[in-house]
Structure 1
């Protein structure tokens, strides 16, 4: 699969930006531009002042605040990168691991119901319902696939110690392309099915 195909199939932080802006509009009836103009008119100088004003004066908290903060004070640089730039950045110093990530992206792009979301340090795989897997370069020699999967930890499927309420407690470690096999793709398919 070409890099261009990855870019078409993958979403970047723009998905989160759009989602946060839509949430703000639903919660308040006002768009991000109105809120940013109000914040500027009030002379708010930083993120903390903005958040206090939105929470205390208007009851707006959480992700809806991010939309306004980013509009007023700028987006972090990594949020402005496209999908190819994000995946390139994750593997720039580890080219031997990139084929593993590419194989997982190819499976994701070709599998119905999977949405790929690129992040700065990992790739998030989502069903129409919720996130079911994460692909992360764990170290210099390993790519981890962490799964939200109800299955016994046995063989390559390891238990991962997580904080309470975190359901991503299964992992498969990949060290070579040989590890991207039917067993691994079966785990991914099962996690997709369980979370759809």
Structure 2
């Protein structure tokens, strides 16, 4: 996005952030409207600059703070998350853990799993397992949409069992 912004406008992200700050605009939607109306931005670029100017995008927040925010008032779920991470990291050193605002993506060359604290007592684990039939535990992707093919609901560390680890392993192997 940053490279595209420079190509499209001839000005750097830093320039646009400074412009927004000098205009003393703080609300996200107002920044977007301003950039679209006054500078001919598309919504995507205006949103990108607004997020960066407000430092509210996931990339502007360190990983530990993102995780802490995800599990605030959901601390009971943290052991499940940690068990998942421990098991996934055993697959290989090429696993990248990418925290976002509301979830953590597990990526090899492609994303193969998504860990999301969905409620105060449940983690939704999204898994990419193309062609795998849906069953009683291995549900349709639900809220994950096309980011994952399946969802498994986890409410206890014991839910991270051999069957689940096998599914995660299959997804990892396919993510090349």
TM-score higher than 0.5 here?
A: yes
| Offset from partner CA, 1:80-120 (integer Å, 9 cap, x none) | 43222222222232332211101122334443332211122
Unaligned stretches of 5+ residues in structure 1: 1-19
Separation in 2, partners of 1:170, 1:105: 18
117, 127, 138: which one pairs with 1:147? Answer: 127
Give the structure 2 partner of residue 169 of structure 1. Answer: 149
Which of the pair has the greater relative contact order for Cα pairs under 8 Å at 6+ separation?
1
Q: Aligned equivalents of 1:191 and 1:92: distance in 2? A: 29
Q: Distance in 2 between matches of 1:156 and 1:178?
A: 14
Partner of 1:116: 97
How far the C-alpha of 1:171 sits from its partner, in A, is 1.0
Deviation for aligned residue 1:134: 1.2
Instruction: Tell me the residue number matched to 2:138.
Output: 157
Note closer, same or farther for the CA distance 1:159–1:22 as it changes in structure 2 (3 Å cut): same
CA deviation map 1:52-101 (0-9, x unaligned): 445x3x6x552x444432444x2228764322222222223233221110
TM-score, normalised to structure 1's length?
A: 0.68
> Which whole-Å CA distance do the structure 2 matches of 1:186 and 1:99 have between them?
19
RMSD value, Cα: 3.2
Is 1:51 paired with 2:36? yes
Q: Which runs of 5+ in 2 are unaligned?
A: none
Equivalenced residue count is 169
